[in-house]
Amino acid sequence: MNTNKLSDRASSAEQHILSRIDSRIASFFSSCVHCGMCAEACHFYKETGDPKYTPIYKLEPMRKIWKHHHTFWGKLFGTLGWSTLPDEQMLEDWQELVYDSCTLCSRCSLVCPVGNDIAYMVRQQREGFSAAGFAPEGLKGASERSIELGSPMGVTATTLLATIKHQEKECGIPIPVDQQGSDYLVLLSSLEIVGFPEYIGAIARIFKQADISWTISTKGFEATNSGIQIGNSEIAREIVERVVNAAESLGVKAVISPECGHAYTSIRWDAPNLLGRELPFKVIHILELLHELQSQGKLKTVGTFDTPLTYHDPCSIARKGGVIKEPRDLLNQVSSDFREMTPTGEMNWCCGGGGGVSAIDEAEELRFKAFHRKSEQVNKLGVKVLVTACANCRNTIEEGLENYEMDVEVVGLTELIAGQLESAG
Ligand code: SF4
Ligand code: SF4
């Protein structure tokens, strides 16, 4: 029991976490029946067997603050000077549990029998940790670059324009930039611009065939939201505001979220909450748009990809976003041997790199351990190609496969489709 006065950092964390304990979180703590089912759903616990990775245990600092301020016994102990509030040492010890070992994948939230949204609670707890400085350097740096340079990887509008020029040469199609009155604004993640720029050429080819009016904005192109990952709503708001301002000034009807998991939930659901207003445009994931084009007969492909392949569901797109049928319909159009992982769809296992984990250097060893689950899923199918729809998953999976010495190629679904277009041949 902690009877000492809290340090300034611990007090700051306490106040910030307390301010995030809303009625939902208070009721979640009251209703936990300690069944342990959330542990069985978490890849970090399953692959290490270490009880400290039990999802609800990651919330122990927040639970202590809730108990101290919101329960009879907590208030009584506090009055008697027997505070159970987390001290600086506990917060330092928990930083790994709050960041390195949680991808905010929501698998635990889905299985909890009393409906506790643990991923939501971790996200809120991160607000207090980051405000008091208990956050990984990798995420701090990414957030600073997002504010100062416009992207977590330091990608500027100049880098973007150079990449666009290169892609125009590759695909032989002009790529519209800052074009007023376009129907769609295409967002990108900096990881795509730097690591998988062929995505830009792929959408240019698909949109040309489908006669879509679209543009990229030099003022608001970055879809990655480091503010959500580190747990800083101010930064998160500023990042979504750039995109919303760009979309409004261009007068687009819809914003297309790229092949990035958390970007989709950030712009589609977090943005209206962060800005406190409805968005005057529709937000759609690129897979949803491709599926619409497919339904309208505007996605004309030839032949099928015959190599056996599987699909990894990005957590934010499938489990949180419900985009599960769309990639399968699209895959079945262009592939003759699509094999499902087990489990799949809303219960698919996370790649282990979401929620900012891939940006935390010191989390690498744990991330590779957690990836063992994904490697087993892929191994069982005997495929040589894995398709996904998130640049961060793609990067995490490529590194994981390398670590487990597996010879499997990772491909983005949009590119796979673009490669089979009628006009591509
Ligand atoms: S959200 Fe995912 S990574 Fe985080 S505790 Fe739950 S299952 Fe584990
Ligand atoms: S699954 Fe829900 S009720 Fe069970 S231990 Fe985890 S949080 Fe508590």
- The DSSP secondary structure of 46-115, one letter per residue, reads HHH--GGG-GGGGGHHHHHHHHHHHSHHHHHHHHTT------HHHHHHHHIIIIIT-----HHHHH-TT-
Q: Which atom of ligand 2 has the smallest separation from the CA of 54?
A: 6
Banded pLDDT at 425 (limits 50, 70, 90): very low
pLDDT digits (tens, 9 = 90+) for 400-415: 999 999 999 999 999 9
> 4 C-alpha vs ligand 1 centroid, how far in Å?
32
> Which tokens is 125 given?
């707890």
Report which of 314, 373, 363 is spatially closest to residue 49, judged by C-alpha positions: 373
Banded pLDDT at 261 (limits 50, 70, 90): confident
Smallest-distance ligand from the CA of 108: 1
Whole-number pLDDT of residue 262: 85
| pLDDT above 80: residue 3 | no
| pLDDT above 50: residue 421 | yes
Whole-number pLDDT of residue 253: 98
Give the strands of the sheet with 385-388, arranged side by side: 338-339, 309-311, 385-388, 409-412
Mutate which of 25, 28, 33 to test ligand 2's pocket (most atoms within 8 Å of Cβ)?
A: 33
Whole-number pLDDT of residue 136: 97
Whole-number pLDDT of residue 383: 97
CB atoms within 10 A of CB 194: 15
> Which tokens is 193 given?
């611009």
CB atoms within 10 A of CB 8: 9
Mutate which of 114, 121, 122 to test ligand 2's pocket (most atoms within 8 Å of Cβ)?
A: 114
Residue % of the chain over a pLDDT of 70: 98
Q: Which atom of ligand 1 has the smallest separation from the CA of 315?
A: 2
pLDDT digits (tens, 9 = 90+) for 121-178: 999 999 999 999 999 999 999 999 999 998 999 999 999 999 999 999 999 999 999 9
At 341 the three-state DSSP class reads: coil
Q: In whole angstroms, what is the distance from residue 295 CA to residue 289 CA?
A: 10
Mean pLDDT estimate for the chain:
95
Helix (H) or strand (E) holding 310: strand 309-311
pLDDT digits (tens, 9 = 90+) for 223-232: 999 999 999 9
| pLDDT above 70: residue 385 | yes
Q: In whole angstroms, what is the distance from residue 66 CA to residue 43 CA?
A: 27
Banded pLDDT at 4 (limits 50, 70, 90): low
Mutate which of 112, 118, 125 to test ligand 2's pocket (most atoms within 8 Å of Cβ)?
A: 112
> Which tokens is 171 given?
């695909």
Q: How far is CA 267 from CA 111, 224, 335, 359, in A?
A: 26, 9, 31, 20
pTM, whole model, 2 decimals? 0.94
Going by their DSSP bridges, the two strands 282-285 and 254-257 should be labelled as parallel
Q: Which atom of ligand 1 has the smallest separation from the CA of 104?
A: 1
Q: Which domains does the chain have, with CATH numbers?
A: 8-135 (1.10.1060), 139-294 (3.40.50), 299-424 (3.40.50.1860)
Q: Residue 211: left if φ>0, alpha if ψ -120 to 50, beta else—which one? A: left
pLDDT digits (tens, 9 = 90+) for 28-74: 999 999 999 999 999 999 999 999 999 999 999 999 999 999 999 99
